[in-house]
Structure 1
Amino acid sequence: MITLNTYLNEKNHTSPAIASAVSTIANVGVEISKLLQRGALADIHGEAGNQNVQGEEQKKLDVISNDLLLDALSANSVCAGVASEELDDATPANPNGEVLVLFDPLDGSSNIDINMSVGTIFSILPYQNQGSEVTNNDFLQTGRNQLASGYIVYGPSTMLAITFGNGVAMFSLDPASNEYVLIEEAVKISAATNEYAINASNYRHWLPPMQQYIDELIAGKDGVRGKNYNTRWVAAMVGDVHRILCRGGVFTYPFDTKDPKKPGKLRLMYEANPMALLIEQAGGLATDAVNNILDIEPTDIHQRVPVVLGSSEEVERVKALHA
């Protein structure tokens, strides 16, 4: 068996600094996994009683997970700074650090109280101003600059998916040893699929091209696509992306007209970029329906974008309709 520690440090998949940051995140993931296993017994259910920078009500475990990751990464000398979806601004750490870490501490936190899958998403960027204290602007790099990205999904088992830009590896957490064990080293997504994930309750707010795309899928074998499709929706991006990496599919949270000030629901830096890198490295595509996610120039660390990612045939169809 190959553990995550062996994969990072002995198989030379990445640099010592990146390996150290990933190890820190993975270790915190073990703590979060244990809290989720205890559930209500650990007093992690319910609201925290405050909102995050996005104006969303925080769950208790949102705050706990955020604090665990923030404290652990800030204490790691390789981290120059940390940015969280839950905090207004980036947190400076070690000015001489080599990397910047961004994370969504608990994606899909509305699932906590009903015992469904949630996850932690992370992205690692190079730090280019050694000796200076980190600011928000240091994080404004395109997704192409990511040194690594991944997620930990907390489900019936806890699993880690990660890429360093040379393919996607998947690990499963052994609860007996608290070690992540490699289960697949070259994850690939099929080009074709018959599964899609979308929040259909927003149909009336979508642009006509997205409405047309979903209409085509619903029409099934009697429509222009000539085959039947199934809907799968976890209500946590990390769960839907994990399913796509395991068996293909397409996930989309498209632009809608509910709030013109918000071009999308998902955050570019904390969700879209890290997941886009994983999907591309597994052979899929990731766009905002027109442009490649990884090529978007960020203007704010909390910038939102529409997202369409997964099996290439479906992502290309969405892009063609929007074009």
Structure 2
Amino acid sequence: MSQVSLSRFLIEAQRAGEIGADLRQLIEVVARACKSISHAVSKGALGGVLGDAGTDNVQGEAQKKLDVLSNEILLEANEWGGHLAACASEEMDHSQAIPNRYPKGHYLLLFDPLDGSSNIDVNISVGTIFSVLRCPEGVTDPQDQDFLQPGTAQVAAGYTVYGPSTMLVLTVGNGVHAFTLDREQGSFILTQRNMQIPADTKEFAINMSNQRHWYPPMQRYAGELLAGKTGLRGKDFNMRWVASMVADVHRILTRGGIFIYPRDQKDPGKMGKLRLMYEANPMSMIVEQAGGAATDGYTRILDIQPTQLHQRVAVFLGSRNEVEVVTRYHRESM
């Protein structure tokens, strides 16, 4: 059987009426940018891209050189294609309109150019996350507020994980499909169709060093997991934590599990650590399309109405039955 490239997959989706030509071309441009980022990541110290950039992003976090480079690669790749009206990045204070010298399209692109970049210097998997929205009708000069659409409005979402192999995982609302980069061909090749997350799991991903800051519902849930066979759950759980959301979610998408980044008392004013628009929404769309679930502990993440471009949120996503348990514990505590 002949290999199916990302381009062929998208063309077939277009012929089936699942996506339009502009969205197909937009996804291909993002994929090409991810190939460039993959090349930079794989060169590591040889490319002079390791270490801090000496700048902070809008959240006050120190940027790595590869954060800045990856952001530039995605911006430059997408500004001239004619498919976008504007884009927004976790690394930029505000959204950026497509320059007037280029034709404008009808889509908005949001991205975390290099998720988990703190892992770069120690050669652990990192990734790119992206989300596509439609530009509101009649808007010719999109501003930040035009991006503030709930996750249910996404028309596509995906991520690329730069690990032992580079993989792009994509949904356009017809399931979740994985493509592996064939470096010899320079093409992403379809390697998994219709990925599914098992409803039950014995694995969880969380930063346990924050346990002392967690609220009671999270303490209750974690206590049950750690109690193992002798506890209420009656089975042993394993913990896995990469500290790169892309890598942790990719593992869950491949073999099940629950990824947790709860709100905590370390900074009570923050609703969570992860960004709704750049991380939680696209990952939640992917997880739901694969049969999983995603909430902030109380509400389905995709139903949240954003109020800020860099809004933060608590995240519980992955195997449906575990997400339902921890969400029930939070709701019962209200």
Letter in 1 for 2:275: R
Match of 2:261? Answer: 253
Question: C-alpha distance in 2, partners of 1:261/1:133?
Answer: 33
Question: C-alpha distance in 2, partners of 1:281/1:208?
Answer: 30
**1:94-105 equivalent positions in 2, closer than 5 A:** 96-105=104-113
8 Å Cα contact 1:98-1:130 kept in structure 2: no
Match of 2:290? Answer: 282
Provide TM-score, normalisation by structure 2: 0.95
Letter in 2 for 1:70: L
**Which of 226, 236, 245 is the matching residue for 1:218?**
226
**Which of 241, 250, 272 is the matching residue for 1:242?**
250
Change (3 A) 1:64 1:264: same
Question: C-alpha distance in 2, partners of 1:28/1:132?
Answer: 25
8 Å Cα contact 1:193-1:248 kept in structure 2: yes
Letter in 2 for 1:51: D
Change (3 A) 1:67 1:92: same
Question: C-alpha distance in 2, partners of 1:43/1:9?
Answer: 37
Match of 2:11? Answer: 9
Question: C-alpha distance in 2, partners of 1:82/1:155?
Answer: 26
Change (3 A) 1:11 1:296: closer
Match of 1:152? Answer: 160
8 Å Cα contact 1:95-1:134 kept in structure 2: no
Question: C-alpha distance in 2, partners of 1:185/1:231?
Answer: 27
8 Å Cα contact 1:97-1:130 kept in structure 2: no
Question: C-alpha distance in 1, partners of 2:290/2:13?
Answer: 20
Secondary structure at 2:146 match in 1: helix
**Which of 204, 222, 226 is the matching residue for 1:196?**
204
Secondary structure at 2:252 match in 1: helix
Letter in 1 for 2:42: Q
Question: How many residues in Structure 1 have an aligned counterpart in Structure 2?
Answer: 323
Deviation for aligned residue 1:96: 3.9
Q: What is the CA deviation profile of residues 58-108 of structure 1, one whole-angstrom value per residue up to 9, with x for unaligned ones? A: 000000000010111112211000000000000001674110000000000
Question: C-alpha distance in 1, partners of 2:85/2:138?
Answer: 8
8 Å Cα contact 2:58-2:93 kept in structure 1: yes
Provide TM-score, normalisation by structure 1: 0.98
Letter in 2 for 1:2: V
Structure 1 segments of 4+ aligned residues over 2 angstroms from their partners: 10-13
**Which of 60, 65, 85 is the matching residue for 1:80?**
85
Deviation for aligned residue 1:192: 0.2
